[in-house]
Amino acid sequence: MLVIVQGVLGGLRVTENSLALAAVHACTAQVFFSLLVAMALFTSRPWIAPSFALARENPSTAPAKRHTLVKLLLGTGVALYGQIVLGALLRHFGRGIGQTFALVHIGGAFVVTALVLASFVYAEKHFDHHAPLRRGAWTMAGAVFLQFALGLAAYLVLLNEMARSLRSTLQIGLTAGHLVVGALLMAATVATALLAVRKTRRPAGDGAASHSDVPALRRRG
């Protein structure tokens, strides 16, 4: 359904030559991409037959730590999508939009970076044995630093070229790279949050099998 919506929005954006529709199209594209990432994760090996345990520590404290990580990742996703919306407005409306939006976007970059780093540190501290979750956290951390650097470079080039009527190839390239890395950061955040929510197999000798063990037991039967 969202593919159809994207196609209609893209067609209307061209026929109506509407910057507003272009911004909406850019925002819904990120939602669609995130859903594709979720679908790919749902059919992946770590999701279908996880062989890891979310926590080695006291089972009574493990759910609380997982919930804390999920909250951090959800907050990161919300803040990041807000940044994507602001970025789409700035990209398509350019100087026609108020400077306040640009300042909020710059401030939001620091907020997202802080949330990503908080999620990364928490995952490394409490889930160091959870390989897929750690990979997601490392991907988020690497992507946010690259995203911050590209955004800063694009902003500095923009300030240097304010007198130009047309954007340079360098500015276009930096803006495009900033967009792509932002999408990758969003994808990594979604995947990591889903992995944190996923109930996984309990450690050996922990007692009764969890829900994730049921398919395996059925296959063996």
All structural domains of the chain with their residue ranges: 60-200
On the CB side of 172, how many CA atoms lie within 13 Å of its CA?
4
Instruction: State how far the alpha carbon of 188 is from the alpha carbons of 26, 89, 105, in Å.
Output: 18, 23, 21
CB burial of 136-161 (b: ≥16 within 10 Å; e: otherwise) equals bbebbbbbbebbbebbebbbebbeee
Residue 203 in this model has a pLDDT that exceeds 60: no
The pLDDT tens digits for 10-30 are 677 667 666 677 777 777 888
Pick from 56-65, 68-77, 171-180: least confident: 56-65
pLDDT (mean) for 89-112: 79
The pLDDT tens digits for 138-155 are 999 999 999 999 999 988
